[in-house]
């Protein structure tokens, strides 16, 4: 499988990572055993860390080279005012 180059699919991947993090957080609110809880915590941290990486490194290096950030709030502002994604073909 080749590298992911289409920005639209990069955004889909980021949304899926956030969904994994949110779902595992929700599952952590339910009672379960120690090992299941530890596994869910590891999965949640991994998913949110990858989404954070996407917000700053992937956007700045592969999607929009003009993007500069100072934190997650700046990234949310960027996402709310950005132009429609153009394919990198």
| Each residue's pLDDT tens digit, 45-65 | 999 999 999 888 888 888 888
Quick one: what percent of the chain has pLDDT higher than 70?
A: 91
Which whole-number Å values give the CA distances from 84 to 5, 7, 11, 54, in the listed order? 16, 10, 12, 18
Is 88 within the bounds of a domain? no
Q: For the whole model, what pTM was predicted?
A: 0.75
Is 69 within the bounds of a domain? yes
Q: How many domains does one find in the chain?
A: 1
Predicted confidence band of residue 89 (pLDDT cuts 50, 70, 90) = very low
For residues 68 and 78, is the Cβ–Cβ distance under 8 A? Answer: no
Is 53 within the bounds of a domain? yes
Domain of 32, in residue numbers: 7-81
Quick one: what percent of the chain has pLDDT higher than 90?
A: 45
């Amino acid at each position: 499988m080749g590298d992911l180059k289409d920005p639209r699919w990069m955004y889909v991947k980021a949304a899926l990572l956030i969904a994994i993090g949110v779902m595992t957080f929700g599952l952590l609110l339910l009672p379960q055993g120690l090992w299941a809880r530890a596994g869910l915590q590891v999965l949640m941290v991994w998913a949110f860390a990858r989404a954070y990486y996407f917000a700053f490194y992937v956007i700045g290096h592969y999607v929009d080279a003009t993007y500069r950030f100072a934190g997650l709030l700046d990234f949310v502002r960027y996402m709310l005012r950005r132009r429609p994604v153009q394919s990198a073909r």
